[in-house]
Chain A
């Protein structure tokens, strides 16, 4: 029962109260880079959830034997380890996706959410809690990215998951080329953060 409660607590924190994108405002670099096609975003998010959950758990597992002064080195090493595993698996079993994502898989190592969560949570919590924290922060990141990616792909390419949509891929719709370029991500992200924070803010007022 205790574990179920912990998981629930971390779920609410990671997905809503303390969402990494619109609350902590972390990991925005990857948000700009890989949200132009929904399928790329799905794979990237899966890779991030995997890395974040397992590296948080590993860091937490080693937290009592890791000397404090070299902890960042150890954390980076552990994160890099999981990211390289994802990279190798994609290269071997899904080369097309590996080519699409290019260097961005490797850049998960520098995604501030991962180091941020290991520092903020994994260093001071037991492995199970740290695992859920990483997992739900990953999900919190993922659904925001999927919203951004859905709008960008539909408006910029007229497709969803690569399938042409009735109106948006016809000649009547002028594709917003801007949307598939990095600036498109800036605008979309800003709108999404704005909407979500407004909702969050009004909820907070109600509870007060």
Chain B
């Protein structure tokens, strides 16, 4: 039988069907979990840039984090132009704006927390990036992210300026990352384009 011309075709077909069936089954079985993981990473990023909702030193389980998110954060609506919001007595007290764009290697996804004055930055979270470890990947480290706290969004063309490492800073600029010019330039573009678009839509 193995000498027949049709044998390799049938064999390949059967073996592909067999292994694919197992993989498809496994994907189906874990798809909910994978989705939940991604949602959780995003929700944690949103919570981490909002003031007084979550203490990063406090260890919360996935479920607790998710219920905290549902309790505190309102999904984006017409008035917030794509930003998630926190309200108190019906008034918005803070915005969390998710932004994304091309980094040096892969897409960078971030969340920026903005105060109710729409000018003061509350924090930055990088929840997806694949930049060079030790260089561009430093954008996800506290040393870099914490620079954004309390910065004021300036007037166009440059809303938030990435200054050379070591250069003097003003209220709207942060230090770029040494040795990661491309990552810094691209992140600066993601933040500036995103904030510009958001401000226009908010008016």
Contact = CB atoms under 8 A, between A and B. Distances in A.
Interface of A: 36-37, 62, 65-67, 69-70, 73-74, 77-78, 81, 84-85, 88-89, 91-93, 95, 99, 102, 156-157, 175, 177, 180-181
Given A95-B37, A95-B41, A180-B133, A85 B30 contact: no
18 contacts: A62-B15, A66-B11, A67-B11, A70-B12, A74-B12, A74-B15, A77-B15, A81-B19, A88-B26, A88-B27, A91-B30, A91-B37, A92-B33, A92-B37, A102-B130, A157-B134, A180-B134, A181-B134
Contacts of B128: 99
Given A70-B8, A92-B33, 11 more contacts: A67-B7, A67-B11, A77-B16, A78-B19, A81-B23, A88-B27, A93-B33, A156-B134, A181-B132, A181-B134, A181-B135
Contact of B22 (A65, A81, A95): A81
Given A36-B133, A65-B11, A70-B11, A84 B23 contact: yes
> Would you list the 6 A-B pairs with minimal beta carbon distance, nearest first?
A180-B134, A92-B30, A95-B37, A67-B8, A81-B19, A92-B33
B203 interface: no
Dominant secondary structure at the B interface:
helix
Contacts of B79: none
Interface string B1-37: 0100001100110011001001100110010011001
A95 B134 contact: no
B107 to A, nearest CB: 11
B134 A92 contact: no
